[in-house]
A = this chain, B = another copy of it.
Amino acid sequence: MKKTTIHDIARELNITFSTVAKALNDHPRIAAATKEAVREMAIKLNYQQNKLASSLRSGRTGIVGVLVPTLDVSFFSSVVHGIETVMNENGYNILLYQSKEIYEDEIRGVDTFLQTRVEGIISSVALSTKNYDHFIDLKKRKIPLLMFDRTVDEIGVPYVRIDDYGGGFMATEHLIKQGCKRIVHISTDQQVEIFKERLRGYKEALLKYGLPIDESLIFYGNLSIELGKNCIKKLVDEKVDFDGVFAFEDYTGLGALKELKDLKINVPEQVKVIAFANEAFGAHITPSMSTVDQQTVKMGEEAARLFLKLIKENKYYENAPEQIILDPILIQRESSQ
């Protein structure tokens, strides 16, 4: 039950294995009749090319490593979906590795990819990673690295992410245009770039429209439905006046919405709400929740396309790292109109 090789095909046809190899690779200087015979015999013998051997010899594996924190968060699985789709269309396969947000696992992932001789790596950094040598090392080895979403300037490689500042601005501006004067922002840990940017967008929008930045309207907590609820509760308890809520992500926005409902505060009549991420539930709740879409699948597709473009040019690290900033998309639903 040994696997059939080009030698087996050659023997059956009384030609040399090197002719078989060329025939299978559609080499121009092989007779059409020979090619035909070889192909037929290959099918008859259930031949499947051994990519290990071919990769070892040619130096091309056609494999790209994808290193993400987890697939159990729809943001990441959507992006990976986009990456795989485009890579597959271009003849590449994906080796998958989850860092589980753990620095050491991220390093293990990079090592695995190096040993598998992937032709490049597409990654989003683990939250616990503070040292980026394993990524910078890839650059030294001339292994193409492309980052998405959680990018790190220090690494200095091409990346794709959305304009979080613009998204924050857009969400806030939308509320202002809907007539809100006192807009709450619920945010989180300011270590992560993207959340800092959303907050910056919020402040800039207020400034632009001549509204004061009131720090008592800005909250920080851990991403959760509870966070949204608690903030609303606190605002109401303390009789703080507000007419708009911009939550830094959808689950927090959902919590705010739920609490407002519980407190019989009408949305959007009394308070308008918008969040960020466009998770699946937002369109189906009542009232449906306005949000900012991050174009996750497109982010993956664009990441793959940029990667492919850059490796095709064959000078991946020779120019300044190219970057793609996707536009956030304002999704206006019932909660804000």
Contacts of A320 in B (CB 8 A): none
| Residue from the list B1, B51, B77, B114 in contact with A77, Cβ < 8 A | B77
B111-A84 in contact (CB<8A):
no
B-side contacts of A61, CB under 8 Å:
52
Interface size of A in residues (CB-CB distance below 8 Å): 50
Q: Which of B48, B53, B98, B117 contacts A81 (CB 8 A)?
A: B98
Residue A280 lies at the interface, judged by CB distance under 8 Å to chain B: yes
Q: List the B side residues contacting A279 at CB < 8 Å.
A: 280-281
Known: A285-B281, A297-B72. A51 touches B116 (CB 8 A): yes
B88 touches A78 (CB 8 A): no
Q: Is A178 on the interface with B (CB-CB < 8 A)?
A: no
Q: Could you say which residues of chain B place their CB within 8 Å of the CB of A284?
A: 254, 258, 281, 284-286
Given A284-B254, A285-B286, A286-B286 in contact, is the A111-B72 Cβ separation under 8 Å?
no
A50 close to B (CB within 8 Å): yes
Does A55 sit within 8 A of B, measured CB to CB?
Answer: yes
Query: Which residues 90-137 of A have a CB within 8 angstroms of B?
Result: 93-98, 100, 111-112, 114-117, 137
Known interface pairs A280-B279, A284-B254, A297-B72. Does A95 touch B95 (Cβ–Cβ under 8 Å)? yes
> Could you say which residues of chain B place their CB within 8 Å of the CB of A55?
52
Residues of chain A from 44 to 81 with CB closer than 8 A to chain B in the complex = 46, 48-53, 55-56, 61, 63, 66, 70-72, 74, 77-78, 80-81
Known contacts A284-B281, A286-B286: does B71 contact A81 (CB below 8 Å)? yes
In the complex the two chains form, is B53's CB within 8 Å of A114's CB? Answer: no
* A289 closest partner in B (C-beta): B284
A141 located at the interface, meaning its Cβ lies under 8 Å from any Cβ of chain B in the complex? yes
CB-defined contacts of A48 to chain B, threshold 8 Å = 111, 114-115
A74 partner, pick from B46, B74, B116, B137, beta carbons under 8 A? B74
A276 to chain B, nearest CB (A): 16
Task: State whether B115 touches A280 (Cβ < 8 A).
Answer: no
Instruction: Give the shortest distance, in Å, between A256 (CB) and chain B (any CB).
Output: 12
Tell me whether A1 and B94 are in contact (CB under 8 A): no
With A96-B96, A285-B284 as contacts: A78 and B71 at CB distance below 8 Å: yes
Residues of the B chain whose Cβ atoms lie less than 8 Å from the Cβ of A22: none
A112 & B85 in contact (Cβ 8 Å cutoff)? no
Chain B residue nearest to A225 in the complex (CB): B284
Is residue A142 within 8 Å, beta carbon to beta carbon, of the partner chain? yes
Question: Of B72, B78, B115, B281, which one neighbours A50 at CB under 8 angstroms?
Answer: B115
Question: Chain B nearest CB: distance from A171 CB in Å?
Answer: 20
What is the CA–CA distance of A283 and B286 in the complex, to the nearest angstrom?
11
Closest approach, in angstroms, between the C-beta of A135 and any C-beta of chain B?
A: 15
Chain B contacts of A53 at CB under 8 A? 56
